[in-house]
Amino acid sequence: MTFDLKTALKYIILFLIGVGVLYLAFRGQDLGKIWQEIKTANYFWVITSAFAVWIAHVLRALRWQMLYQSIHYKVSFWNAYHAVMIGYLANLALPRFGEIGRCSVIHRAEKVPMFASIGTVITERLFDVLVLFITGLAMLIFQHDIVADFLYDAIYLSLAKKANTLNYWWLVVIGAVILLLIASAIYFLRQKFSKKFLRIFVSLRQGFGSYSKLKQKGLFLIYTLLIWVFYCLSMYFAFSSIQATSGLHFNAAFTAIVFSGFAMAAPVQGGIGVFHWMVAQSLVLYGITFKDGLAYSTIIHSSQVLLILILGSLSLFLVLAKKTDHH
């Protein structure tokens, strides 16, 4: 990845957007009371919540290892695990850079072609997106009475207002220009780097085909389901960390994980701001004040960031140390 001034400005702008959303979320709130709730939190449940997230990361490494095995690359569990943790660490600095970062770790440690790795990462991400949409649909079906008003008022009406102000001819023109640029870029790459482009295409196709070649598809799907179950459990355990949310049930954790899933899809470092606002909004649906929801979301987000900083840095140190030993 080339890192120039334009790239740096892009990530700075994304970070500032996240900080802006964070400011808007906390604006007008009693910060003293929020801080008091965070200070007096039950940290046993905070640690238990973070442990559940770590189990999800371990399961993600096991699932990713399966995809490599299906295309005949013997990637060790520890290299897959360290790559996953380093990827999360990289995402705290640069959104979406973690996916490239973890593929780079596997390339250096196991000599797997970069684009084959990228194909496996895109494959597993597609399954995560599928689970997110299924859980979102389940939320709409089974908790329609709770989320319907929020979705109508906060999302549908807001989008409808913006849609009325749009000039659709401009959208058509912009879409056509984007398609033309993509087609031109592909044509240029094929002409200039035909052999290299072919190797990239073959590697990507190999990665994309990793799921279809799996011998244990059922186990892969079980890992995928368990990853999201442990994400839900992390939300649920954290409810007991402060008095305001201690009475919430698992259905609230289910809704919170769906809201947070869409929040983390935003291209902002670590989901800062967007995560806090979305999770707090999800808890408002269950009678929790927005202030208490912010205290809860701050606790769980901070614990997860701290987990990544500690374990991701440890993985990075171990990978670099191992590389030095080989030299």
List, as one string, the DSSP characters of 291-322: HHHHHHHHHHHHHHHHHHHHHHHHHHHHHHHH
Tokens of 222: 């079980």
What is the C-alpha separation between 74 and 64, in angstroms, rounded?
A: 12
What is the C-alpha separation between 277 and 293, in angstroms, rounded?
A: 9
Helices 250-264 and 217-239, packing angle to 10 deg: 110
Q: Tell me if 247 sits within 8 A of 283, measured CB to CB.
A: no
3-class secondary structure, 272: coil
The residue written with tokens 């689970």 in the block is: 131
- Rounded to the nearest 10°, the torsion over CA 9, 303, 258, 33 is -90
Chain length of the chain:
327
Q: Using CB atoms within 10 Å of the CB of residue 157, give its burial: 0 to 12 exposed, 13 to 18 middle, 19+ buried.
A: exposed
3-class secondary structure, 234: helix
Q: What is the pLDDT of residue 117?
A: 86
Q: Give the amino acid at 274.
A: V
Q: What is the pLDDT of residue 316?
A: 87
Q: What is the pLDDT of residue 296?
A: 92
The 8-class DSSP code of residue 152 comes to I
Low-confidence ranges of the chain (pLDDT < 50): 1-3
Dihedral sign computed on CA atoms, order 51, 304, 222, 278: positive
What is the C-alpha separation between 239 and 220, in angstroms, rounded?
A: 30
Q: What is the pLDDT of residue 212?
A: 82
What is the C-alpha separation between 178 and 193, in angstroms, rounded?
A: 22
On average, the pLDDT of the chain sits at 80
Q: Give the amino acid at 196.
A: K
In this prediction the pTM is: 0.77
Q: Tell me if 254 sits within 8 A of 264, measured CB to CB.
A: no
What is the C-alpha separation between 208 and 253, in angstroms, rounded?
A: 32
Tokens of 97: 């850079």
Residue 132: name the closest of 223, 225, 42, 65 by CA.
Answer: 225
Distances from the Cα of 107 to the Cα of 92, 104, 200, 230, angstroms: 21, 5, 14, 29
